[in-house]
Copies of this chain bind each other. A is one copy, B any other.
Amino acid sequence: MNAEAINALCAGNPRAVARAISAVERGGAEARAVIAAIFRHTGRAHIIGVTGAPGTGKSTLVNEIAKYYRRRGQRVGIVAVDPTSPFSGGAILGDRLRMQDLAGDSGVFIRSMATRGSLGGLAAATADAVRVLDAAGFAVVLIETVGAGQNEVDIAKNAQTTLVVEAPGLGDDIQAIKAGILEIADVLVVNKADRDEASATVAALEMNLNLKPQTEDAWRPPVLRTVALTGQGIAEVAEEIGKHRAFLETHGLRQARERARIRAELERVVQHELLARLVRGVNGDKIETLVAQVAARELDIYAAAEQLIHVA
Contacts and interface: CB of A to CB of B under 8 A. Distances in A.
Query: What secondary structure prevails in chain A residues at the interface with B?
Result: helix
Given A97-B174, A149-B148, A303 B84 contact: no
A242 interface: no
A175 B84 contact: yes
A152 B85 CA distance: 12
A271 B269 contact: no
A175 B146 contact: yes
Contacts of A8: none
B176 A302 contact: no
Given A150-B83, A302-B36, A270 B308 contact: yes
Contacts of A297: 39-40, 42-43
B278 A262 contact: no
Which residue, A43, A83, A287, A299, has most C-beta atoms of chain B within 10 A?
Answer: A83
A222 to B, nearest CB: 20
A273 interface: yes
Given A35-B301, A87-B180, A149-B149, 12 more contacts: A54-B171, A56-B173, A88-B179, A90-B175, A119-B154, A146-B148, A147-B149, A170-B170, A255-B295, A258-B295, A266-B301, A270-B278
